[in-house]
């Protein structure tokens, strides 16, 4: 029996957020920087084995694009891990969603898109309020991760035209891993060599990168990108659920309303706009 394409997307989202929640449990030993280094390095190794990218035959301009993509991946993942070190997972993912949302409605002149902007803005303001368990540093890092996620989406379209399949992403992920070595070693130190932490880092890489990317690529073959964008709008809610179940991170009613507003804005923008739905790496 054929598996419904939307199920691929939902399983991929769940995998991503479970990976993020598990990554948070490694921060006491590795810190956010050591954890993101392990995740990125193992993800790069898996992608290289899968796609076997070739440098030969590509111009310097193509390779420079892959390096820029890798820099974006490194900055996006590092900013996000710094965010979830400071604020709950569900709140961080919701704030980060401003990046894809901006891409979805960027350049639009439709009056209806103003509604989605207002909904998202109200949601973000509710989450970024002073006091409570949300601090300014965590919000700032989540917003920065959103900026880099938007950049990732825009660059991925160009990478896809230059490199076949996922070879461009595998090259970029390798660049990202190399760039993260200094901060990762500084944050994780000798703990990066502990077998149990290496195994956990490999598991996070599979859950957060390899599995969701593969599932969402499979879904894209059978779903319009607009439908995929609508399905991805459940990601903030899934992140909040993962944070609650795995990490015990509770949310107030106000937080739940804010997450729902941003999810509605994302779904609405995907439905009415020309969103380019690309999975988070």
User: Which tokens hold the place of 198?
Assistant: 């290496």
Spatial neighbors of 244 by CB under 8 A, at least 6 apart, are: 90, 250, 251
pLDDT above 90: residue 101: no
> Which pLDDT score, from 0 to 100, does residue 106 have?
75
> Which pLDDT score, from 0 to 100, does residue 270 have?
74
Task: Give the pLDDT confidence of 109-126 residue by residue, as tens digits.
Answer: 677 778 888 888 888 888
- Domain ranges, ordered by start, for the chain: 5-272
- The region that residue 131 occupies, defined by phi over 0 for left and psi between -120 and 50 for alpha, beta otherwise, is left
Q: At what angle do helices 211-220 and 5-24 cross, to 10 degrees?
A: 160
Confidence of residue 275 (pLDDT cuts 50, 70, 90): very low
The vertex-279 CA angle with 273 and 265, nearest 5°, equals 35
Write down the residue that tokens 């090259």 correspond to. 171
Rounded to whole angstroms, the Cα distance separating 165 from 100 reads 22
Hey, CA dihedral for 119, 72, 93, 15, is it positive or negative? positive
Task: Give the pLDDT confidence of 5-42 residue by residue, as tens digits.
Answer: 788 889 999 999 999 999 999 999 999 999 999 999 99
pLDDT above 90: residue 269: no
pLDDT above 80: residue 273: no
Average pLDDT over residues 37-59: 91
pLDDT above 60: residue 128: yes
Q: Which of 281, 261, 148 is nearest to 205 (CA)?
A: 281
> Which pLDDT score, from 0 to 100, does residue 191 have?
96
**What average pLDDT is seen over the chain?**
88
- The region that residue 258 occupies, defined by phi over 0 for left and psi between -120 and 50 for alpha, beta otherwise, is alpha
The vertex-235 CA angle with 233 and 240, nearest 5°, equals 130
Rounded to whole angstroms, the Cα distance separating 43 from 255 reads 32
The strand ranges marked E within the chain are: none
pLDDT above 60: residue 61: yes
The residue ranking higher by pLDDT, 141 or 108, is 141
């Amino acid at each position: 029996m054929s598996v419904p394409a939307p199920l691929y997307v939902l399983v991929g989202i769940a995998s991503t957020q479970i990976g993020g929640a598990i990554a948070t449990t490694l921060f006491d030993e590795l810190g956010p920087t050591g954890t993101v280094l392990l995740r990125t390095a193992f993800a790069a190794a898996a992608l290289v084995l899968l796609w076997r990218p070739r440098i030969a035959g590509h111009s310097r301009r193509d390779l420079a694009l892959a390096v820029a993509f890798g820099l974006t991946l490194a900055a996006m993942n590092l900013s996000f891990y710094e965010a979830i070190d400071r604020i709950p997972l569900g709140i961080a993912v919701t704030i980060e969603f401003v990046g894809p949302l901006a891409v979805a409605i960027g350049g639009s002149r439709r009056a209806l898109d103003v509604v989605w902007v207002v909904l998202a803005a109200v949601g973000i303001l509710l989450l970024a309020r002073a006091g409570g368990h949300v601090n300014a540093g965590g919000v700032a890092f989540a917003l920065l991760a959103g900026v880099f996620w938007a950049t990732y989406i825009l660059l991925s379209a160009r990478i896809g035209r230059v490199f076949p399949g996922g070879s461009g992403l595998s090259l970029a992920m390798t660049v990202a891993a190399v760039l993260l070595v200094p901060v990762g070693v500084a944050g994780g130190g000798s703990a990066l060599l502990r077998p149990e932490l290496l195994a956990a880092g490999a598991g996070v890489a599979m859950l957060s990168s390899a599995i969701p990317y593969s599932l969402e690529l499979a879904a894209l073959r059978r779903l319009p990108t607009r439908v995929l964008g609508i399905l991805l709008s459940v990601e903030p809610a899934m992140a909040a659920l993962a944070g609650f179940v795995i990490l015990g991170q509770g949310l107030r009613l106000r937080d739940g309303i804010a997450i729902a507003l941003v999810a509605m804005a994302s779904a609405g923008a995907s439905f009415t706009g020309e969103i380019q739905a690309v999975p988070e790496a």
